[in-house]
Every structure is written in C-alpha cells, then in structure tokens.
C-alpha cells in the first residue's frame, strides 16, 4: 500500500509538471513531430516508390524511438532536476528508500513514454495516410520488454548523473546510438540482437507491419528479448545502486 501511494504521488507530480509547463510539453511533442515530418517528406522526395515501401518500418521505428528516449532519459533528467531544485538529499531520507523512489519514477516514466509514443503514432499515421496493425495484446508487451533494456541504460546514466551531475552531452550521444540500434539489420548482423532495443525493434516492426501476434514469434526470438530486457535492467539498476553509494561517500549529493 505504501508503494501504491508513492506511485500515485509520483504519477501526480509528473502529470502536474506536464500540465503546468504547457509550452515545454507541447514544444517537445512538436519538435519530435517536425523531425518526423522532415524525414517523411525528405525521404519521399529522394526515395520515391522505394521509400513508400519502407514507410511502415519508419513509422514503427520512430514510434519506438519516441518511447525509448522518454523512458531512457526520464531518470537522468529526474536526477539532474532534483539536484537543481535542492531536493535530491530529501529523497535519500525518504522512508521508502532512495532506490525504491527512483524505481517508481522509472515505472511512471515508462507509462508516460507509452502515452508519448501513442500520441506520436497517431500523428504519424494521420500524416502519412498509412495504417498499421496495432494489436494491444501484442504491441504493449513487446514495447515494454523492448523499453526495459533502454531503462537499464537509463539507470546506468542516472547513476552517472548522481556522481558527475552534468552528463547531457553523453546523454545525447546515446540517443544517436539508439537510432542505429532500432534500425539495426539483424538479418545481416545477427549478433546485434544482443544490444539494447535491437531485438525488440525487429519484433515490433513485424508485429505492426506484418500483423504478427505475440504467440506467433519463434521461441528463440522471444528468449533473446526476455534475456536482454532482464539483463540490461538488472545490470543498470546495480550500477545505479553503486553510483548512489559512491555519491554519498564523496558527499556530492547536495552539490550541483
């Protein structure tokens, strides 16, 4: 019950930040949409018919990219904002425990990433005039398992933010790496499926463009997705825990 109350409080806080700063919220959504529009019209002008054939894959890739950026970046930005606001040390004194508080923050960020991704998906489909198979029983589990690896990377960088505070440039570089992993040619380079987002991106693309259902994927593919989701999440959380202890030993929690 205490964790549920914590979840409601964090969810309400996140929602209030979105509502009370509408310019920032809408500009973030508008920026993502403009980025997609530029890709869409630029690709159609250059690629012609060949681009139209791969348009469904582009929509799915951008859908996943939107969610992964929100889910991955939420923790790092939360740590940075709490340090700027001077409330980071208060979270360490919470009766819930610092790591539980940030684990709940991550869960809330993942829920909001689904909201952002769904909104962008609707805008992209309206812009392109394409239709995709959106079977929620298949898409939501695949999306959550795919985002788990990105969240694990987010935990690791959240730990870096605790110790080193300003890591925005590295954070942005990782976003570019996510683009490459989402578009990774797994058929040509099968070993890429062990990296974050890659395996889930391929499965999500097949589900939304070819109509695959969750139970129609072969067991090895599902096994790789489950393994990468759990492995990156656990390793990322362990690194976050180590970094939080190091930040306390160095006495830099209250610094920014």
Q: How far apart are CA 7 and CA 4, in angstroms?
A: 5
User: What value, to the nearest 5°, has the Cα angle with vertex 124 and ends 21 and 139?
Assistant: 95
From 95, 93, 96, 101, select the one nearest 75 (Cα to Cα). Answer: 101
* Residues in Cβ contact with 75 at an 8 Å cutoff, skipping those fewer than 6 apart: 102, 105, 106, 109, 151, 154, 155, 157, 158, 240
Residue 255 within a domain: no
pLDDT value at residue 253: 66
Q: What pTM does this model have?
A: 0.83
Phi, psi of 187 (to 5 degrees): -65, -35
Residue 24 within a domain: yes
Percent of the chain with pLDDT over 90: 5
pLDDT value at residue 226: 93
* Residues in Cβ contact with 221 at an 8 Å cutoff, skipping those fewer than 6 apart: 199, 203
What is the average per-residue pLDDT within 49-76? Answer: 76
Residue 256 within a domain: no
Residue 96 within a domain: yes
In tens, the pLDDT along 170-222 reads: 777 777 888 888 888 887 888 888 988 888 888 888 888 887 888 888 888 88
Q: Which helix (H) or strand (E) holds 75?
A: helix 55-85
pLDDT value at residue 254: 62
CA gyration radius, the chain: 19
Evaluate the CA torsion angle 227, 112, 6, 81 in order and state its sign: positive
Instruction: Note down the domain range covering 164.
Output: 2-250
Residue 117 within a domain: yes
Phi, psi of 234 (to 5 degrees): -70, -45
Q: What is the DSSP letter of 193?
A: G
Q: What three-state secondary structure class fits 5?
A: helix
Q: Mean pLDDT across the chain, nearest whole number?
A: 81
pLDDT value at residue 159: 80
How many domains, the chain? 1
Which of 23-27, 122-126, 161-165, 229-233 holds the top average pLDDT? Answer: 229-233
Tell me if 129 sits within 8 A of 59, measured CB to CB. Answer: no
User: What value, to the nearest 5°, has the Cα angle with vertex 178 and ends 174 and 181?
Assistant: 135
Percent of the chain with pLDDT over 70: 90
pLDDT value at residue 237: 87
In angstroms, the Cα distances linking 119 to 56, 76, 122 are: 17, 23, 5
Burial of residue 178 (CB within 10 Å: 0-12, 13-18, 19+) is buried
Residue 206 within a domain: yes
In tens, the pLDDT along 156-183 reads: 888 887 777 766 677 777 778 888 888 8
In tens, the pLDDT along 99-139 reads: 788 788 888 888 888 888 888 888 888 888 877 877 888 88
In angstroms, the Cα distances linking 121 to 90, 181, 190, 205, 249 are: 38, 20, 28, 13, 44
pLDDT value at residue 29: 84
């Amino acid at each position: 019950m205490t964790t549920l109350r914590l979840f409601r409080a964090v969810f309400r806080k996140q929602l209030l930040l979105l509502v009370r700063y509408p310019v920032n919220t809408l500009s973030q959504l508008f920026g993502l949409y403009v980025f997609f529009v530029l890709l869409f019209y630029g690709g159609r002008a250059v690629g012609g018919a060949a681009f139209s054939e791969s348009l469904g894959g582009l929509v799915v890739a951008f859908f996943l990219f939107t969610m992964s950026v929100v889910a991955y970046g939420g923790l790092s930005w939360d740590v940075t904002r709490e340090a700027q606001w001077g409330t980071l040390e208060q979270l360490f004194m919470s009766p819930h425990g610092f790591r539980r508080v940030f684990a709940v923050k991550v869960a809330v960020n993942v829920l909001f990433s689904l909201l952002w991704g769904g909104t962008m998906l609707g805008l992209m489909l309206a812009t392109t005039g394409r239709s995709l198979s959106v079977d929620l029983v298949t898409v939501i589990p695949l999306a959550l398992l795919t985002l788990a690896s990105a969240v694990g990377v987010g935990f690791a960088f959240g730990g870096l933010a605790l110790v080193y505070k300003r890591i925005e440039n590295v954070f942005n570089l990782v976003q570019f790496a996510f683009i490459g992993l989402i578009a990774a040619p797994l058929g040509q380079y099968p070993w890429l499926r062990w990296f974050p987002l890659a395996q889930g991106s391929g499965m999500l693309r097949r589900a939304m463009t070819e109509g695959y259902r969750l139970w129609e994927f072969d067991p090895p593919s599902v096994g790789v997705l489950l393994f990468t989701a759990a492995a990156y999440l656990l390793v990322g959380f362990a690194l976050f825990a180590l970094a939080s202890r190091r930040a306390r030993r160095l006495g830099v929690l209250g610094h920014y």
